[in-house]
Every structure is written in structure tokens, then in C-alpha cells.
Copies of this chain bind each other. A is one copy, B any other.
Amino acid sequence: MSTNKTGGRERRRHQGDNRVTLKDVAREAGVAPITVSRALNTPENVSAGLRERIDNAVSALGYVPNLIAGGLASAGTKVIPVVVPSLSILTYIEVIHGIQQTLEPAGYQVLLGSTDFDLEREASLVDTVLGYSPSGMIMTGLRHRESAERRLKAWGRPLVEIMELGETCIDMNIGVENTEAGACMARHLVEQGYQRIAFLGTGMAHDYRARLRYEGHRQALKAAGIESDVLFQDDQPSSYEVGRKLFLEALDARPELQALHFANDNLAAGAILEANRIGVRVPQDIAIGGYLGLSLGEHLTPRLTTVTVPRYEMGVEAAKMLLAKLEGGSPASSRVDIGYELKVREST
């Protein structure tokens, strides 16, 4: 059945290497391999007749391009590494979701990388993923190891740094002003008349964006002439459980507290749920504010006051910026402030 009349000694080295190649298609269609390549990648450069013959051959043989070979030859794969600090934090998941939903229809695949908030691992991850000759890349935050930053700059392809906003970025930047967002909630609490206010966070030793929000919180309280150093923190990843613990701890240690500013909605939700359980009234006994805008917040009783950040949209926009640059043009802007919004609900 095979057309293998010419000696049949072609060495097939790798196991399972029975895949149909461009060459097979070319033979079937009676054209040169390069013509098949063109018919697939730039059909407008191939006559209609050949195009059809080639398309037929492709589906007859069930040809699927080897993207690795293509990537090697053209020095770039349609892979976009997305490096985030954690996959257990909903925020990053939602951003990734936005990125993926935007990139996949454009023919790009997301290569996932997680650093666990460790810049050293981030640097080595950068080395690894650059090894896949990606066309572009998305990273979290603006602070990186010197070595990673150098590598990325030398690489010179489209790169979007997300979640945070800064004066200088490697290539493109989209995010929010964490300091301002933290200050925003703090000011709101002050305006509501609360005086004894605490900040409650977790993993702040490595999550510097949370630290920035705390910094904003402190500045705002200081500006209002209020004690600004009441801080409760923990090391574990954010969860309802940690929020609950922090809440009980604060209640116990500083019963005079009037308002709690949580570093994120997971913690704040854990606190409200515990308040429900033990009969602490929010906000009458104590007010609670969060950060993020998780949908859960709207379903709690009382509904959670929070500073929302459009996370899914941030992912979408980051991907669009990348695509714009990948497809030749330059993005509308290489630095976009995705913004945040104070949602005053019932918990403050």
C-alpha cells in the first residue's frame, strides 16, 4: 500500500514517529514542501487550484503541523508563558482566565508558570520558558531579580507586566496602584467615622503588593491623624480560615477596634462568616472592608464593602496589548491603569 519503493531504508529514529509530515502532504499533492507550507501559512500566496489540492491532501492524510519544527525554523512559537506567583489565589486565576480566553482564539497557547512568590524561582522559570522561544510573555509585578530582568530585556520581545503599575517597566505594563487602592479603603473607613482601625493581612513578607496596600492604608490614616500601626498578620496563604483567625485575634487583642481593613476579600469574607456565626454584628459592632471584589462579597450578609479590581478584564487587556504588538502594530498604550473602584456596601 505504501509508496515506499525507493529502497525503504529511511531511518525513522524515534518511537512512534509515524506522524504525517509536510513532505508527505507535498508528495500526495504533487507539489514542493514549501508550497504546502505557504498554502497553510500564507494561503494568499498560493493559487486557488494548488490550494485546494493541498487542502485535500492535508485532510486525506490527517496532517497536523509540527509546531516545534516550525518554531525552530522561524525562531518563535505561538506559546505565551504566563508567570504568576500562585495558582491557589483566585485573583491570579481570574487574570489567567482572561488571558487564556483572549489568546486562544488568536492561536496562542498559555504556558503556565508559578513562582510561589519566590523571585529566585521566578528567575529560573524565566530561563526555562524562554527556552521555548515564545513570541511574547506575561509576568506578574514589576520587581524581578536583576538576572531575570536582564534576560528579558535582551530577549526583546513583547512582554506585559501585570497587577501593578509603575514608572518603569520592561516593555508594557497594566495594573493598579496598590498604594492608592489601600489608601482608598482607609479613607473610606475614616469618612464613615471610624477611628480605631486595623489592617489585617497574610503572607505580607513575600507579597509586596499587599505591603503596598498596607503602606497606602498607613499614609491615609496618618494624614487623618489616626493611629495607623495596628496590624494583624499571618504567614499562610489567604483563605476564609485565616480571615476567621485574624478576625478573632483582633477582636480578642484589641476589643476597642471599630473597623477592620482586610488585605483581600477572602480574608474579609472569612471574618464576616465568623461574625455571623458568633453573633457579632457588622458593621454595628465592627466594620469590615476588603479588596478585590470577589463575587462572594455581594452574597454575604452584610454585603461586603470592598475596593474592586477588574481582574478578568486585566487579563483580557494584557493579552490584547500583547497581541497588538505581536501582530505588528503597537498597542494603543504601553502602560494602562486598569483602575479600581470603591464599592460601598453594607459592611462598613
Report A's interface with B, CB cutoff 8 A: 13-18, 62, 64-69, 71-72, 74-77, 79, 87-88, 93, 96-97, 100-101, 104, 109-114, 127-133, 151, 154-157, 239-241, 244, 269-270, 273-274, 276-277, 295-296, 298-301
Contacts and interface: CB of A to CB of B under 8 A. Distances in A.
A267 B74 CA distance: 48
Nearest to A64: B127
A132 B100 contact: no
Contacts of A111: 79, 109-112
Given A72-B68, A112-B112, A114-B100, A270 B244 contact: no
A229 to B, nearest CB: 29
A68 to B, nearest CB: 5
Contacts of A71: 68
Contacts of A101: 87, 114
The 3 nearest A-B residue pairs measured at CB: A67-B131, A14-B75, A273-B299
Given A111-B111, A112-B100, A66 B273 contact: no
Nearest to A93: B93
Given A100-B112, A301-B277, A68 B132 contact: yes
Contacts of A130: 64
Contacts of A301: 273, 276-277
A140 to B, nearest CB: 15
A132 B299 contact: no
A239 B295 contact: yes
A79 B132 contact: yes
13 contacts: A16-B156, A64-B130, A64-B131, A65-B131, A68-B72, A96-B112, A100-B114, A101-B114, A109-B129, A111-B111, A239-B295, A240-B298, A270-B299
A202 to B, nearest CB: 15
A222 to B, nearest CB: 34
Contacts of A104: 113-114
Nearest to A76: B14
Contact of A273 (B17, B113, B240, B300): B300
Contacts of A114: 100-101, 104
B154 A18 contact: yes
B68 A131 contact: yes
Contact of A87 (B97, B244, B273): B97
Nearest to A240: B299
Given A68-B71, A132-B79, A301-B273, A112 B113 contact: no
Contacts of A75: 13-15, 17
A295 B16 contact: no
A302 to B, nearest CB: 10
A61 to B, nearest CB: 12
Contacts of A65: 131
A62 B127 CA distance: 10
B64 A68 contact: no
A127 B65 CA distance: 9
